[in-house]
Amino acid sequence: MALPEIISGQVWTLGPHVNTDLLHPPSHFTPDEKKMREGIEEGILRLGGKVKKEGPEVGWIIVAGENFGCGSSRETSARGLLAFGVKGVVAYSFARIFMRSLINLGIPVFECREIQEHVRNGEMIRILMREGWIETQDSKRFSFSEMDLHFKKILEVGGLLHYLRRERHGL
């Protein structure tokens, strides 16, 4: 599984300093994917959003402010986002441990300091990996910081476990 050259999805906007315990409440920490998704739905409502997708095949791209993912640093919050269909996260900046959890699970992260005021919930955006920019529904483009080469290698194979297996077995 390769990291796609284009990631597209429906925008879910979040502000600065989003705490993982608000995003995915501890009462929904479980290996059960259905309950994880329900936790994210509860988190969306807690954070003032709406739970609405255009279709089952449309995934989410979170666009957040600074320090996204602060809080408990539990990997279950990142797993909840994966189960909910989050295809990528664009933020002004990330809480370091949460960013690594996203990458380890195969969810690409992008630092961009300009897009937050130019998108709304429900809009479609595209992230063009090779070009290094994000394109909004109205064709505005915003560049994102260059991705760390090691993180890119992990994402290209679908996450840390796949990466470690590949390294160990020389695949």
Q: What is the pLDDT of residues 127-160, one digit of tens each?
A: 999 899 999 999 999 999 999 999 999 999 999 9
Does the structure show a pLDDT above 70 at 95? yes
Please name which of 108, 127, 8, 104 lies closest in space to residue 58, comparing C-alpha atoms: 8
Instruction: Tell me the pLDDT band of 171, cut-offs 50, 70 and 90.
Output: low
Range of the domain at 57: 6-169
Question: In this structure, are residues 115 and 134 in contact, taking their beta carbons and an 8 Å threshold?
Answer: yes
The number of distinct structural domains making up the chain is 1
The pLDDT, as a whole number, for residue 51 is 62
| CATH code, 43 | 3.20.19.10
The pLDDT, as a whole number, for residue 29 is 87
The answer to whether residue 1 sits within a structural domain is no
Please name which of 153, 10, 159, 20 lies closest in space to residue 78, comparing C-alpha atoms: 20
Q: List pLDDT tens digits, range 29-76.
A: 888 888 988 999 898 888 877 666 555 467 899 999 999 999 877 888
Q: Which amino acid is at 40?
A: I
What are the residues whose beta carbons fall under 8 Å from the beta carbon of 76, sequence distance 6 or more?
A: 24, 29, 30, 36
The pLDDT, as a whole number, for residue 53 is 56
Give pTM, 2 decimals.
0.91
The answer to whether residue 68 sits within a structural domain is yes
